Structure 1
Amino acid sequence: MLNQADAPHDSGRPGISELFERLGADGRDWAEAELALARAELGELKSQAMRAAVFASIAFAATFCAMVALTQAGIAVLTPLLGSEALAALIVGIVLVLLVIASAFSLMRCFSWRTESIFFRWFGGPSSHGGGA
């Protein structure tokens, strides 16, 4: 007597071994697609980081030159009004520190990116569209 599993497939449905082969092939295809997506995201992250680095270095050089000139001009303008060169330098210094803080927050926004692949969601936390790992 034949077991149910050993019976021929007259109904036209695939056998269990064929289903496992399909499952294995689908799993491999999914893993390859996921890896390709992770590579694309990594490439995009790399280009964003390169752009941010270039813009940051140009901005740093230009800002440094401008800040030296503006600091001297600000101190020269405030000294007669305040009567003290030290007080004028302190006020200009505080304004410059506030400007540096605002610039740092703006620079941090350059590094925001959206994760799509499961690989980056595992390492990067939840996706920006609400899905978790």
Structure 2
Amino acid sequence: MSQAQSFDASIPVLTEVLKAEPLGGDLLPGETANAPLATSTRAEMAAQLEADAVDGWSDAEWAMLEHRLSERIMGKLQSRVDFVLEQRIKDSMAEVLTHALHGLTNEIRIGLHDTIEKIVARAVSQELTHLQAQKK
């Protein structure tokens, strides 16, 4: 991606699109495309619609909303926690395994050195014994 990219000036960028179309581009009930309401009137109307919608809710509906929100939030948090936990475990395991590998390598090296040293000493001893037996 080191090459400079050329942009087509005829294609609007996101900020231009957002400036051209205000948030909540959908029309509210009673609003026509030819006669848009003022922004403050739209906000007041949206707030009133929301208030009217939730005023008639029963305790069961509120409990259901609370349960759904809790489940959604927990699901999102759990997936994020799982990802972070997995990454930390991978990092920790890599460090632990590297440390264990170095320790094991050193132990094998020392053991192999000792074994070779004993084998060479025994071979030299046997060869000397054999040479001494030939002299007699």
What is the TM-score of this pair, normalised by structure 2?
0.42
Higher relative contact order (Cα pairs below 8 Å, separated by 6+ residues): 1
What is the TM-score of this pair, normalised by structure 1?
0.42
